[in-house]
Amino acid sequence: MFSPVIGQNAKRAAVRKALDRHKVYITAQSFANGAYSARVLVDGEAYWVDEFRLSQLRQGLTPAELELTPAADD
């Protein structure tokens, strides 16, 4: 049986999960020699990533989990 309280709790859990996930901002993109790369800003730190790593970051993985190294200042 579905109750309004259970539905409300599920909605709140979904919102909490979305707010806890880190935001990924693309600050630069390049496409050279057939390879895509993007400079992204995650939690105040910049990283250069390929398309696959970008999708992993968007799915909620952290740069530490992906063993990314911060980008050098330009």
| pLDDT 10s digits, 45-68 | 999 999 999 999 998 889 999 999
Put simply, whether the predicted model's pTM sits higher than 0.75 gets the answer no
Q: Please report where in the chains the tokens 């400079």 appear, as a residue.
A: 39
Report how far apart, in Å, the C-alpha atoms of 4 and of each of 10, 11, 17, 40 are.
10, 11, 20, 40
Residue 70, pLDDT score = 94
Q: How far apart are alpha carbons 24 and 60 in whole angstroms? A: 9
Extents of the domains making up the chain: 24-74
Type of residue found at 52: F
Residue 73: pLDDT over 80:
no
